[in-house]
A and B are shown apart, each in its own frame.
Chain A
């Protein structure tokens, strides 16, 4: 099974900060990685698919990148509405797996 190690588990940042969340895969997954935002009591929302493609309607301050088996979600200029938990997911092979999640809070 492909393991995804997501870091950090918790992140405290200020409005306007640049925030980076990392997801490392235990083996190659091509670009078959997605990032989601989840707010309490709500279903996850797709932010980035295929590692770096911004989902339609998602603000451009969100971006994704990849280098080998390391994937990064960046928020350039944190906004109050970005406070949420973020998950990565690999879909390259079954079983599909998720990272453990990053809880983002404001300072």
Chain B
């Protein structure tokens, strides 16, 4: 059974930094791209970043480019999200998510972590 276990959330002040981790089990980790997705309280889902299975390719929405960095260590089955210059509006539950594929293209997210809460407040 595939499991994704996140850690690293917490309470911090605006301008602070935080690194989230997500460790996978039950899967050949390097075969799959991974995403980070967040959900602000009472709001919808927002894609935060993505990384290919090898780690060679990373992607971000324009609003997070330069502040957030996704990386992975396939020897540890772990993906990371480094978040810098955090803002109040970054407050959300952050999920790591494993991509699934169909006919060679991205088709959905078949496994999600339990989510870790990041609260940015003065």
Contact = CB atoms under 8 A, between A and B. Distances in A.
A83 B46 CA distance: 22
A32 B107 contact: yes
Contact of B106 (A32, A46, A53): A32
Interface of A is mostly: loop
A49 B105 contact: no
Nearest to B64: A95
Interface residues of A, number: 27
B79 to A, nearest CB: 15
Contacts of A53: 102, 107
B45 A87 contact: yes
Interface string B87-120: 0000000010001101101111110111100000
A97 B47 contact: yes
Contacts of A74: none
B97 to A, nearest CB: 8
Given A53-B102, A95-B61, A46 B108 contact: yes
A89 B110 CA distance: 12
B45 A98 contact: yes
Contacts of A49: 100, 102, 107-108, 110
Interface of B: 35, 44-47, 50, 59-62, 95, 99-100, 102-103, 105-110, 112-115
